Amino acid sequence: MSTELSIEIELSPAFHDCDAMHVVWHGNYFKYFEIARCALLARHGYDYPQMQESGYLWPVVDTRVKYIRPLLYAQALKVSARISEYENRLKLDYEIRDAGTGQVLTRAHTIQVAVLAATGELQYVCPPILWERLGVQPQ
């Protein structure tokens, strides 16, 4: 898999993302995944506005998260997103690491499918525009 199909961003959890113990609330992890996913797709010119312009919607239909260690308020983090499947669905794998130690704190993935915006019809093969923007061929 090409390194162009992955990205790494840095962020630190904001106070409003945390509970009273200064631990990031589990649902906010998805916000961090989304920030990395959007950065990766934008690099390929196929972020959500371009997806919609191309006539497709890409709803998330499945997610998995393994919470290994808690994320803490103001902790320096590295969030990576990598496209691991793109032929019949768009699967992205994520990893959150402590920026200082490199310790893995979280692993996850999301699966998105193409839906024709005009009809709401599920597409069983990803549209060629995705492959074109990613610079890949169907597997």
Catalytic residues, by residue number, are 19
Q: Is residue 121 a contact partner of residue 128, using CB atoms and an 8 Å limit?
A: no
* Contact partners, residue 85, CB within 8 Å, separation at least 6: 91, 111, 139
The SS3 call for residue 83 is: strand
Q: 99-125 burial, b for 16+ CB within 10 Å, e for fewer?
A: eeeeeebbebbbbbbbbeeeeeeeeee
How far apart CA 138 and CA 130 sit, in angstroms, is 10
* Contact partners, residue 120, CB within 8 Å, separation at least 6: none
